[in-house]
A and B are shown apart, each in its own frame.
Chain A
Amino acid sequence: MARDINTKKLKKNAFRYSKVRGETASRIRIPGGVINAKSMAKIAEVAETYGNGTIFVTNRQGVELPGIALEDMPAVNKAIQSIIDDSGVNQEERDKGYPASGTRNVVACPGSRLCPFGCYDTTEFARKMDKMIFPNNLHVKIAFTGCSNDCGKVRMDDFGIIGMTEPQYDPNRCVGCEQCIKYCNIRSVGALSLVNGKVVRDTDLCIGCGVCVAYCPTRAWTRSKEHYFRLVLLGRTGKKNPRLAEDFIKWADEQSIMDIVKNAYAYVEEYIDPNAYEGKEHIGYIVDRTGFDEFFKWIMKDVKLNDKAEVAHRIYWGGKHYDRSNNLK
């Protein structure tokens, strides 16, 4: 039988175009990076049944099952239904697999579920974000990390969300042991100093990582009731100008971040190059075209930040410019 495959539909359905003729790979999406063991067993079963028995673990916390015959795609879509249900990913039609692949899996570091330094439940926030933005064909990358260690490497994404806590200090519980100062110096930015037996925090320098809280032996330092976030914008990899995301908002709240991401999708729909190859264009290149002010106007529409939030009104990105010169001599 003649093989007649629409590769555009194949990719949109979260199958990979493989260099091996006649084969594909199924791309499983795991928002927030956490999945039940029974779904993992199902993944293994599908890889054994339809694939070549191997599983590729992706950089974005998905898995790809290579070596699947193109003809088996409908059967694979049926087989992975329980995984889609389990991971809570939005779907348009049951047993038809993933409805889009443009907006990438939403990544999360282990966060406060496991990590002593995680400032919030990264998986929960990532899942909430995925619920809002997926399915979508636009090429957008979002990642969540629990603290400024950035184990989630969120500065490589369009939207990077870094957890923060505002250290609360009770001088009446402080004995001046200076462990917060020592560990802030060793493990963080050195924002603390001892003045007259009590600790003073440089609020400009403090990145809200919570190291002082973790090492305080008396609970003189505690975490703020509110979970705060640093939102960093428009990092990317790629062949033109890979770069790290830059700080946009410090001490942001969850709702504002949700609103900003939603607004950003509207901005991209408005300004994306209509001739962009395969409809994919990193947001950063669009911002280069419209200017930051226009981008700012769109993404901050109806966003109600809390009083503590600090916003950068102009951002400059650096990075490697392959597109200018690659001469290392």
Chain B
Amino acid sequence: MGYVISRTGFESVIEKLGQQYRLYAPVRKVGEGRYTDVDVVRYDFVTKFDEIELEAKSDYAFKELLTPLSQTLFFFTENEVKEADFDDRDVIIFLRSCDMHAVKRLDAIYLENKFADPFYERIRKRVKFALIGCAHSYEDCFCVDMGTNRTTEGYLFSIDVAGDEIKSDVACPDVAALFEAADAKAEEVVPAYVTENEVRVTVPEKVPNEIYKHGMWDEYTARCINCGRCNFVCPTCTCYTMQDVFYTDNGKVGERRRVGASCMVDGYTNVAGGGQYRRTNGERMRFKVLHKVYDFRKRFGYDMCVGCGRCDMVCPEYISFANCINKLNDAVNELEGGASK
């Protein structure tokens, strides 16, 4: 069922939902961007509708709730371990279609990859979604070619702002009751979605092993500064590393932390004895790109990249991941004369 509701009506719906759920949404953090007097849009908890940034694309993804940048898993003393406290209240995440598709990829990695990660699972079970409609494509988006531009299920309700009104496709009866109580007008609503992006990509169907030594990666060795921003803003990057910390004033007590990791940053492939599997930034780029548009597909049947374009938005060296996919496709064609997907 769908509803058209006034802004004030919708504000009351959000306020009521906020009493039942923690609301996790894109928020404009004024002045917290990289540069002076520049904002950043990233996810945070909100209680009011007007705190949600619905116009701009978020610079950072929603994944920070499901896979926190830094999370204490447990504390330890000599012979005991205590799991860190966990906020087990239900959550609604407000996200766009590409990010809804990213959730499927996070689930694949953390729940369906041989065994379920308990720390991911316990929060994932608490999470529901609200879909933010996309009335237009943004710069750097390539969701259409990645097949993530449309979401038709899996959300409680959708949001499309149309002037002073909000249009919602409501899938959850409890939420529908809130809309009814706020004098919403019943009307068929299809969440807005884009059907074309300015950025186009062609993902190669098969990638031959010779790509490993192809010269196309050398460019990235020269250009990339291995900052890893592309990974940290990506809604589907799932890598983490562990920190075992021993408190300085009592070395027998400490905690284990799980922190986000990046396959572009120094140290990611370090092994005992001083080895490092991917030294150059070109090798790291190769690993990342093939993982996103090939290797993941070999295991799960679909590509990991959802085409949100955040990596292109954040790269300080103007390296385009989307363009790299196209270069990869060209290189594959050159190697095999192979057909594209």
**Could you list 12 further interchain pairs (A-B, Cβ under 8 angstroms) beyond the known A146-B36, A222-B29?**
A175-B262, A179-B228, A210-B36, A214-B34, A217-B262, A218-B60, A219-B32, A219-B40, A220-B69, A222-B31, A223-B31, A223-B32
CB B287 to nearest CB in A, in angstroms, measures 17
CB A280 to nearest CB in B, in angstroms, measures 36
In the complex, A252 has a CB within 8 A of chain B: no
In the complex, B200 has a CB within 8 A of chain A: no
In the complex, B243 has a CB within 8 A of chain A: yes
> CB distance B248 to A196 under 8 Å?
yes
Interface centre among B32, B231, B247 (most CB of A within 10 A): B32
Question: With A171-B70, A197-B245 known to touch, is A215 a contact of B60 (CB < 8 Å)?
Answer: no
> CB distance B228 to A177 under 8 Å?
yes
How many Å lie between the Cα of A176 and that of B68 in the bound state? 13
Contact with A along B186-223 (1 / 0, CB 8 A): 00000000000000000000000000000000000000
Closest Cβ neighbor of A215 among chain B residues: B227
> CB distance A225 to B31 under 8 Å?
yes
How many Å lie between the Cα of A210 and that of B257 in the bound state? 27
Chain B residues numbered 59-112 whose CB sits less than 8 Å from any CB in chain A: 60, 68-70
CB B253 to nearest CB in A, in angstroms, measures 12
Question: With A120-B36, A174-B69 known to touch, is A219 a contact of B265 (CB < 8 Å)?
Answer: no
How many Å lie between the Cα of A165 and that of B60 in the bound state? 23
How many Å lie between the Cα of A139 and that of B40 in the bound state? 44
Please give, as numbers and ranges, the residues of chain B lying within 8 Å of A275 by CB-CB distance: none
Question: Given A116, A210, A218, A227, which contacts B260 in the complex, CB threshold below 8 Å?
Answer: A218
In the complex, B229 has a CB within 8 A of chain A: yes
In the complex, B261 has a CB within 8 A of chain A: yes
In the complex, B232 has a CB within 8 A of chain A: yes
How many Å lie between the Cα of A171 and that of B231 in the bound state? 19
Please give, as numbers and ranges, the residues of chain B lying within 8 Å of A192 by CB-CB distance: none
> CB distance A218 to B227 under 8 Å?
no
Contact with A along B28-40 (1 / 0, CB 8 A): 0101101111001
In the complex, B259 has a CB within 8 A of chain A: yes
CB B39 to nearest CB in A, in angstroms, measures 11
> CB distance A172 to B259 under 8 Å?
no
In the complex, A173 has a CB within 8 A of chain B: yes
Please give, as numbers and ranges, the residues of chain B lying within 8 Å of A219 by CB-CB distance: 29, 32, 34, 40, 42, 60
Question: With A177-B228, A217-B232 known to touch, is A197 a contact of B243 (CB < 8 Å)?
Answer: yes
Please give, as numbers and ranges, the residues of chain B lying within 8 Å of A172 by CB-CB distance: 68-70
Q: What are 11 A-B pairs at a CB distance below 8 A? A: A112-B35, A121-B37, A176-B259, A196-B245, A197-B245, A215-B227, A219-B29, A219-B34, A219-B42, A219-B60, A220-B69
CB B41 to nearest CB in A, in angstroms, measures 11
> CB distance A116 to B35 under 8 Å?
yes
Closest Cβ neighbor of A177 among chain B residues: B265
> CB distance A116 to B259 under 8 Å?
no
Please give, as numbers and ranges, the residues of chain B lying within 8 Å of A227 by CB-CB distance: 36
> CB distance A118 to B232 under 8 Å?
no
Closest Cβ neighbor of A146 among chain B residues: B36
CB B293 to nearest CB in A, in angstroms, measures 22
Question: With A179-B227, A217-B229, A219-B32 known to touch, is A173 a contact of B69 (CB < 8 Å)?
Answer: yes
Closest Cβ neighbor of A172 among chain B residues: B70
Question: Given A118, A177, A222, which contacts B32 in the complex, CB threshold below 8 Å?
Answer: A222
Please give, as numbers and ranges, the residues of chain A lying within 8 Å of B35 by CB-CB distance: 112, 116, 118, 214
How many Å lie between the Cα of A68 and that of B324 in the bound state? 58
> CB distance B36 to A118 under 8 Å?
yes
How many Å lie between the Cα of A225 and that of B68 in the bound state? 25
How many Å lie between the Cα of A220 and that of B232 in the bound state? 12
How many Å lie between the Cα of A161 and that of B226 in the bound state? 34
CB A229 to nearest CB in B, in angstroms, measures 13
Question: Given B36, B229, B231, B261, which contacts A165 in the complex, CB threshold below 8 Å?
Answer: B36
In the complex, A213 has a CB within 8 A of chain B: yes
How many Å lie between the Cα of A165 and that of B243 in the bound state? 30
Question: Given B37, B70, B259, B265, which contacts A179 in the complex, CB threshold below 8 Å?
Answer: B265
Contact with B along A188-228 (1 / 0, CB 8 A): 00000001110000000000001001111111101101010
Chain B residues numbered 6-44 whose CB sits less than 8 Å from any CB in chain A: 29, 31-32, 34-37, 40, 42
CB B105 to nearest CB in A, in angstroms, measures 20
Closest Cβ neighbor of A222 among chain B residues: B32
Please give, as numbers and ranges, the residues of chain B lying within 8 Å of A222 by CB-CB distance: 29, 31-32
CB B59 to nearest CB in A, in angstroms, measures 8
Contact with B along A142-169 (1 / 0, CB 8 A): 0000100000000000000000010000
How many Å lie between the Cα of A116 and that of B40 in the bound state? 15
> CB distance A112 to B37 under 8 Å?
yes
How many Å lie between the Cα of A213 and that of B35 in the bound state? 8
> CB distance A175 to B260 under 8 Å?
yes
In the complex, A119 has a CB within 8 A of chain B: yes
Closest Cβ neighbor of B265 among chain A residues: A177
> CB distance A112 to B36 under 8 Å?
yes
